[in-house]
Structure 1
């Protein structure tokens, strides 16, 4: 019965933020997390020199895979995260960001300038990307949670 209440609270958090939190607001290689707990510190540590930016009404936080590939960034985030299910990326594991690293890192509450120019084509870019094992796991987790909510 406790798994049902956990599922309900996870669904409530996802609903409050909206489904767009799963859409990283850039077409460049990046990883994001659902904001909560220690995730700002984890992102600051794992993103190295890449700028960390909040998006979708402060529900998500992301950075570009600069100076490392998506696999290394994703591995760092999932190993240091309290909830690795909330870590997701938008590119192949061997991809790196094409943008150059900014002079300094900072966490902002708005969408970065780079992302606002590319946000209209986000869905088209993601459509051709392979789904990682963690992405498939996340889809399975969401499906299983929805199924358990219907059964209970």
Structure 2
């Protein structure tokens, strides 16, 4: 029984080493949606992203595109409905946000580093104004605050 546990642990460890926590950080500040690469996710992204370039990142563990020609809500809904996986789909802007960058080339899936730059935004503070706080982020802040409060009270 311990042999089975050992082999399971080593396979999980190998997977987590190849795909780190960076997959949850979309490599752009412009309005975009991303997903963990699995199953037919590349085909789903190609379909849902319309004319936006689809790009892989974080050692091909993640894939994303800008919300060009559609808002984040429509893009996210398309990805989750066509992939059937809403746990591994995430976006970096409010649901009504759209990308400020315009389509700059032919659509293709790339596994290289992102060529998107925060400096390409046409609005100086657009990335800051449209950044929502995730539920997990609020939970983490609440947990830290609660821990600090309990330390003071004790």
When normalised by structure 2's length, the TM-score is: 0.69
Whole-Å separation in 1 of the counterparts to 2:18 and 2:110: 20
What's the counterpart of residue 33 of structure 1? 35
Question: CA 1:32/1:126 → structure 2, altered by over 3 Å: closer, same or farther?
Answer: farther
Q: SS in structure 1 opposite 2:80?
A: helix
What's the counterpart of residue 68 of structure 1? 70
Q: SS in structure 2 opposite 1:114?
A: coil
- Correspondence 1:1-152 to 2 at 5 A: 13-14=15-16, 16-115=18-117, 129-131=131-133, 136=135
| C-alpha distance after superposition, 1:20-53 (max 9, x if no partner) | 1100000000000001100000000100000000
Question: CA 1:59/1:116 → structure 2, altered by over 3 Å: closer, same or farther?
Answer: farther
CA contact (8 A) 1:25 1:116 kept: no
Whole-Å separation in 2 of the counterparts to 1:56 and 1:23: 9
Unaligned runs of 5+ in 1: 1-7, 119-124, 141-152
Question: CA 1:87/1:126 → structure 2, altered by over 3 Å: closer, same or farther?
Answer: farther
What RMSD, in angstroms, separates the aligned Cα atoms of the two structures?
2.9
Whole-Å separation in 2 of the counterparts to 1:116 and 1:106: 21
Q: SS in structure 1 opposite 2:87?
A: helix
CA contact (8 A) 2:51 2:68 kept: yes
CA contact (8 A) 2:92 2:132 kept: no
Higher relative contact order (CA 8 A, sep 6+): 1
